[in-house]
Chains A and B, each alone.
Chain A
Amino acid sequence: MNNILTATGLNKAFDNLEVVKDVSLTIKKGEFVCLVGKSGSGKTTLLSLLSGLEQPTSGEVSINGTSITNSLENDLALFRRKAIGFVFQSFNLIPTLSAWENVALPLFPVKMEKEKRQERAMELLGQMEIDHRAEHRPSALSGGEKQRIAIARALVNYPEIIFADEPTGNLDSETGGAIMNILKHLHKNRGLSILMVSHDQELAASCDRIIHMKDGEVVS
């Protein structure tokens, strides 16, 4: 089996408003796919459906052969902890925790020694070249630093796929370019599957494949 993600006939409606309409798509293992479209086209909702953050009104999603549709919330949470990494536009770091603790956050509910958690977090911060900021809280970090920490956090559980929702959306072009380079590096050197949402055609151009969305439908 070559596909890391398969979606079939996905629909999502909020009351009478159809946000995602009959979407079917696949992502191959090790593929870097970019989902592009205008604001309100349904990109983020589709990403939520594909990553199990949201349940579709109809249709099915499976990741690495495991169907995540109609799973119980707790099972979905455990699946996300085991197989999925997230990078958000607004970083979504916990303000009370230091950089390394934010990276190790998905590991807190897992039974393991504190030293091992910290060791893994520090290793990833090192790879993101931000280990010197390990003890700082998010409020003391720049946007680029926060997003590096968020990427390190997405990698902490050795995920099979990373979902990135506008990871450069809150950054200036230079910092955004650097973050994009990190993602490309992870894809190229580690063979990570990545599904990235963006409205920036220029960024999308450097991905393996581009999926265009318009009014909730995949148009190409």
Chain B
Amino acid sequence: MYYPYIVKELSYRHNRTMVNIFGIAVGISLFISINALSSAYKKAAQQPFQDIGADLIVQRTAQQTEGSGRQPKSMWGIRLPFSNQLFPDADIAALKQIDGVETSAYALLLWEFTKAGFITIMGVDVNQPSIGALKAKNWIYKGRFPEKQGEIAVEKHFAKFKKLKPGTSFIIDKQTFQVVGTIEIKEGAQAVAPNIYMPIANAQMLLGKEFSAINLVYMRLNNPSLQNQIKSQIASKIKGVSINSSDSSLELMGGVSMISEKFALIASLTGLAGAILLIMKTMISNLVERSHDIGILKALGWTKTDIQKQLMIETLIQTIIGGSLGILIGYLISFGLGFLSISIPVPAEMDFIPAMARHARDANQIVRLPVSVSLSLAASAMVISIITGGITGFILGQKTSKMKPADIFRQL
């Protein structure tokens, strides 16, 4: 094989070469960016769960708990969120019997309504596994996590708003608590983060309940892909609970995420198919244009394999350059999409913020779209480019083999 001939052919017919390269680049960049966008929505929905290290969050809502849906006497002071009613001891015992759970942790979420506004309080047991609300132990910004009764840690933005820092005190339900640390919540987990963390015994005391009072159960599964089976198992054993996972957020996202989830492959493959058809069409028209040259090559003793090799390498060079360019463009598009912010719709039961505080809820749920081009996505795009080149080269070779030099010369 004489490689300069290949290069000279490609540069001599530069318009056709450019059409092929850009055609495949557009197809590949569509494939990359659509798939990256689709997985970004999935990642965004999973982010709160990944950050807190849990696959499932189990709760009882007011409507689902017999007798707990009654109107409160007063909206002021400490109260349970409507979506986080207390679990009866029997439910806790039943949850411990669920198969496929690697580890679990409990928490008590409270609201306090005052004339100055509302706060969300999370009672956690520091002796439990570090998942769920207790994951905040790893996000200390200043100071430390509360270890004994009377101590609290405050979310960073809330601390700034209330001018709190380690060493200051804060009053909750007429009781004074010592601020021992501030916490910087990871982006994404902010949707399921409270304003204040304190030992669970303090939270139970504020609620006026005994030590077993809990209203949140976090579960990490042995095999996260089996979460739907485990959800069914829980629902069958404990009636009236709400079980949330990353799938719940993804379902709520609907719109673009569901469309891209369902049609990402079809949409990206359609883009690619367009590029493949374009390259095939231009290469085949090129074959007609080059039939004279092919006739000469055949007359001078080039075999079908020699010509096929020549055309195959010409096509492969174009698809590899087009593929690489497509990956680069796809990466740049994905990089640009990464600047977009999206709202993660947290299921109502999981939202720690009261429904009346709509603006605070919205602000809490906005995250940057985590778009990234994985190595495997880039590699599959390159493999697709090479396969496209291979198939096109093969088709051209087959067409060439049917061309007879005498027929070609006769037609000229």
Contacts and interface: CB of A to CB of B under 8 A. Distances in A.
Interface of A: 45, 48, 53-54, 73-74, 77-82, 84, 86, 88, 90, 92-97, 101, 104-106, 108-109, 114, 117, 153, 157
Contact of A86 (B4, B293, B299): B299
B302 interface: yes
A109 B303 CA distance: 9
Contact of A97 (B8, B302, B305): B8
A104 B301 CA distance: 12
Nearest to B301: A81
A13 B405 CA distance: 17
B300 A74 contact: no
For chain B, the bracket of interface size reads 20 to 34
Given A53-B405, A90-B412, A109-B306, A96 B301 contact: no
B304 A108 contact: no
B301 A77 contact: yes
Contacts of B404: 53-54, 73
Given A53-B406, A90-B412, A106 B300 contact: yes
Given A74-B305, A96-B5, A80 B12 contact: no
B251 interface: no
Contact of B12 (A73, A82, A88, A95): A95
B301 A80 contact: yes
Interface string B400-412: 0100111001001
B406 A114 contact: no
A77 B8 contact: no
A105 B299 contact: no
Contacts of A78: 301, 303
Nearest to B305: A74
B304 A157 contact: no
Given A48-B406, A53-B406, A90-B412, A77 B5 contact: no
A106 B2 CA distance: 11
Contact of A74 (B1, B2, B5, B304): B304
A190 B412 CA distance: 33
A114 B401 CA distance: 27
Contacts of B304: 73-74, 77
Contacts of A77: 298, 301-304
A92 B296 contact: yes
Nearest to B401: A73
B299 A53 contact: yes
B297 interface: yes
Contacts, number: 77
A103 to B, nearest CB: 11
Nearest to A14: B410
A54 B403 CA distance: 12
A80 B299 contact: yes
Interface in B293-335: 293, 295-306
A73 B407 CA distance: 14
Nearest to A12: B406
Given A54-B404, A109-B306, A97 B5 contact: yes
B12 A96 contact: yes
Given A53-B405, A73-B304, A105 B297 contact: yes
A209 to B, nearest CB: 25
Contact of B301 (A82, A90, A94): A82
Which residue of B8, B295, B304, B401 has the most chain A CB atoms within 10 A of its CB atom? B8
5 closest pairs, A vs B, by CB?
A: A81-B301, A54-B406, A109-B306, A108-B2, A96-B12
A108 B1 contact: yes
Given A92-B299, A108-B5, 5 more contacts: A88-B409, A93-B296, A96-B5, A97-B5, A108-B306
B293 to A, nearest CB: 6
Interface in B115-136: none
B300 A153 contact: yes
11 contacts: A74-B304, A77-B302, A78-B301, A80-B299, A80-B301, A81-B300, A81-B301, A84-B301, A86-B299, A117-B2, A153-B300
A76 B92 CA distance: 85
A85 to B, nearest CB: 9
Nearest to A114: B2
Given A54-B404, A94-B293, A86 B5 contact: no
Contacts of B409: 48, 53, 88, 92
A80 B412 contact: no
Which residue of B9, B297, B298, B300 has the most chain A CB atoms within 10 A of its CB atom? B300
A190 B95 CA distance: 100
Interface string B259-299: 00000000000000000000000000000000011011111
